[in-house]
Amino acid sequence: MAPSERTPSEQLLSGQIPSERRRVVLGVAGGIAAYKAVEVLRELTESGHDVTVVPTPAALEFVGAATFAALSGHPVRATVWEDVHEVPHVRLGQQADLVLVVPATADLLARAAHGRADDLLTATLLTARCPVVYAPAMHTEMWEHPATVANVAALRSYGAVVISPADGRLTGADSGPGRLPEPAEIAAVARAVLARGGVPADLVGCRVVVTAGGTREDLDPVRFIGNRSSGRQGCALARAAVARGADVTLVAANLSVQAPAGVKVVTVRSARELGDAAIATSRGADAVVMAAAVADFRPRHYHPTKIKKGTTAEPDSVELVRNPDILATLAAAPAGERARVVVGFAAETDDVAKHGAAKLAAKGCDLLVVNEVGDGKGFEVLHNAATILSRSGPSVEIPHTSKDLLAHAIWDTVRQHL
């Protein structure tokens, strides 16, 4: 395959797309969440990126220019009338690898959606030919207003990534959708966008469902049967989908890592709860990726009180029954209810290729991601390796790499099937 024909993740895996220091413009709009932009700035600079902060004049009412300058190592300009000879309102956008706006207020979203250029930040947004990411923060009523909904839709139609805000405490006593996601997760989405080497978002308009984590099957109020899944790979898949512009629902089973920014989270505990949530949320979706480690079995009997040693309740053994086959159920759903692309995961400890091929045939899914687990592989680690098997095309080998890059490679394959 010629280098130009490779997917962005294949190019990065092969070293064709450089992963070194990138030029990021961090726009800061005038909202109370502006103070969190300082943490995003710190995350990006500590990741090795060259960050220039462009606040609006209103943002400087919340955080002083000296703070941004000290942490970025660059002078801070808020208007087009500073250093005019450098033509910053054009050069900043032209030279950036990413423009990230944190927070993006309702006013900033409106001005950006309508092509306004009445300050340095909006002028930069108009001249940018790189990926643009907005992290909105505002009161619930503002986020849900039809004007804001229309502005967000317009920006997404232009190819921008608009991270959906979190649901939580707002200014004062108010609470609801509109809270800025955690700065570390915003920075993680930014890094996921940068990892694609400037390629535009290619999942805009797609609705996807990802399951993550490990299910727990309760034996009594204290004990359960579980597994070692942390949820890292599923969260990496959800984060990569957000970075590519998708509307993402994450069905989260007992995560030991934080859920990504910009996703709708449905929290579950057991395999049956996960199955119900996956079936409900994936109905008519473009893709569902079953990355969660789902228990095959559960105890037949649940004890409502803790089982005590030396009592008549102490079991000689624990009888298990089989859980429903969620992946097969999703793949067999009738047209109109089935996701367009159904992706399964197979975690195997031996004969990986053999078991993977058999599972692909048995489950009826479109793609199956097969990876070896155990002894520092797969679970509870930051890296992974896998083979993506397809019912209608060649398999794709993904060498040992970060779970974030593996996630992009999986979405590349899903995108081809869409």
By annotation, the residues acting in catalysis are 227
Residue type, 185: E
The C-alpha torsion from 33 through 38 and 43 to 45, rounded to 10°, is 140
Q: 12-15: long-range contacts at Cβ-Cβ below 8 A with a sequence spacing of 24 or more? A: 12/195, 12/196, 12/197, 12/405, 12/408, 13/398, 13/399, 13/401, 13/405, 13/409
Among candidate residues 273, 288, 282, 292, the one with its CA nearest the CA of residue 366: 288
292-191-366 Cα angle (round to 5)? 35
Length of the chain: 418
Token look-up 């999986």 returns 410
Could you tell me if 136 and 152 are in contact, meaning their C-beta atoms sit under 8 angstroms apart?
yes
Residue type, 282: S
Could you give the angle at which helices 106-113 and 120-127 cross, rounded to 10 degrees?
A: 40
Q: Report residue 59: phi and psi, to 5°.
A: -65, -30
Angstrom distance (rounded) from CA 26 to CA 53: 5
Angstrom distance (rounded) from CA 348 to CA 370: 7
Whether the ω angle into residue 103 lies within 30 degrees of 0, i.e. cis, is: yes
Among candidate residues 243, 189, 290, 236, the one with its CA nearest the CA of residue 405: 236
DSSP 124-191: HHHH--S-EEEEE---HHHHHSHHHHHHHHHHHHTT-EEPPPEEEE-STT-EEEEEPPPHHHHHHHHH
Angstrom distance (rounded) from CA 197 to CA 17: 6
